[in-house]
């Protein structure tokens, strides 16, 4: 049976480090990191995410600024709010919860956020820096996945790494981070002709497709590290991931559960990025 990677415990360790760093930053500079979260609309899942982020801010000693806008909010009003937050010295990180209502262009909103306050690392400037390896911020989920892999004690260097999924939020940056750690990386997607073959070669398998239990036990190399980024519902309406945990846990060496794996790490990395953004204002 695979060793379960406890994302909650690892995230708690990360947050404890950030809390101590935040106290040190305050004593040295008088600065308290501040995170502004904008939510447009009434999506229930997004409301939960926003609430969790606010709780995490309180836990590590950050200032938390919350902006709840009605679903009919014009794009111009949202961009105007972002521009005000860009100029606010108490706000070091700005996060606009996605998805946005259909009448708002996500690209325009992402580009409106200052790259220095883009703690999601979605701005084209920060995406470019991730490509070159000269980044200040990393996308929260891929950064959290790297922490989880590190916790196993297994080195990425020299390993065959397979990422299933090619989204801008997870798949593409995930591949870059594994590559920066000297892994040999393959990205699989809906047009990959033999997904099973590719997955069976992976020493490290990261799955982020949004399809419940699509990775089964016969698709995993014995002893592999399996990271499940998915958050889905099974046929009984229960939370599950993109990996069939029951089957794959019998084959893999390490595996993340859903929930309790990648999710807590994503928020912990958001806190880390916000702290970094605040610290950069002191350096400058």
Active-site amino acid positions? 53, 97, 120
Strand ranges inside the chain, DSSP E: 3-4, 34-40, 63-69, 93-96, 160-164, 184-188, 204-207, 225-228, 232-233, 239-240, 254-255
Residues 6+ positions from 130 with CB-CB distance below 8 Å:
121, 138, 139, 173, 176, 177
27 labeled binding residue: no
- Residue 115, judged by CB atoms within 10 A of its CB (0-12, 13-18, 19+), counts as middle
Question: Does the annotation flag 167 for ligand binding?
Answer: yes
Diameter of the chain measured on Cα atoms: 56
Residue 166 marked in a binding site? yes
H/E run at residue 147 = helix 140-151
Q: Are 281 and 92 in contact (CB under 8 A)?
A: yes
Selection from 271, 154, 145 nearest residue 208 by Cα:
145
Written as six digits, the tokens of 65 are 């600024």
Q: Are strands 93-96 and 184-188 parallel, antiparallel or unpaired?
A: unpaired
Q: Which pair of tokens denotes residue 57?
A: 């801010």
Which residue is it, tokens 């801010």? 57
Selection from 67, 71, 59, 81 nearest residue 36 by Cα? 67
- Taking the CB of residue 182, how many other CB atoms lie within 10 A of it? 13
Could you list the residues known to form a binding site for NADP(+), using ranges: 165-167
């Amino acid at each position: 049976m695979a060793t379960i990677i406890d994302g909650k415990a690892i995230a708690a360790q990360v947050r404890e480090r950030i809390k101590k760093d935040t106290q040190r930053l305050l004593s040295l500079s008088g600065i308290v990191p501040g995170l502004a979260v904008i939510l447009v609309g009434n999506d229930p899942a997004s409301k939960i995410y926003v609430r969790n982020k606010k709780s995490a801010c309180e836990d590590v000693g950050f200032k938390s600024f919350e902006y709840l806008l009605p679903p009919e909010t014009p794009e111009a009003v949202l961009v105007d709010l972002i521009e005000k937050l860009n100029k606010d010295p108490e706000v070091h990180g700005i996060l606009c919860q996605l998805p946005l209502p259909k009448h708002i262009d996500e690209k325009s909103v992402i580009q409106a956020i200052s790259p220095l306050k883009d703690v999601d690392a979605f701005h084209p400037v920060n995406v470019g820096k991730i490509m070159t390896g000269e980044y200040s911020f990393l996308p929260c989920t891929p950064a959290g996945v790297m922490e989880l892999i590190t916790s196993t004690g297994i080195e990425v260097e020299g390993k065959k790494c397979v990422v299933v999924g090619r989204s801008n939020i997870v798949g593409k940056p995930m591949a870059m981070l594994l590559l920066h750690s000297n892994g040999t990386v393959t990205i699989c997607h809906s047009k990959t002709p033999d997904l099973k073959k590719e997955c069976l070669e992976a020493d490290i398998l990261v799955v982020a497709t949004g399809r419940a239990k699509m990775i089964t036990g016969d698709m995993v190399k014995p002893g592999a590290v399996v990271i499940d980024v998915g958050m889905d519902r099974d046929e009984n309406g229960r939370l599950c991931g993109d990996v069939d945990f029951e089957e794959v846990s019998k084959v893999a060496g390490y595996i993340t559960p859903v929930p309790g794996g990648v999710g807590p790490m994503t928020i912990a990395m958001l806190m880390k990025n916000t702290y970094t953004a605040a610290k950069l204002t002191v350096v400058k």
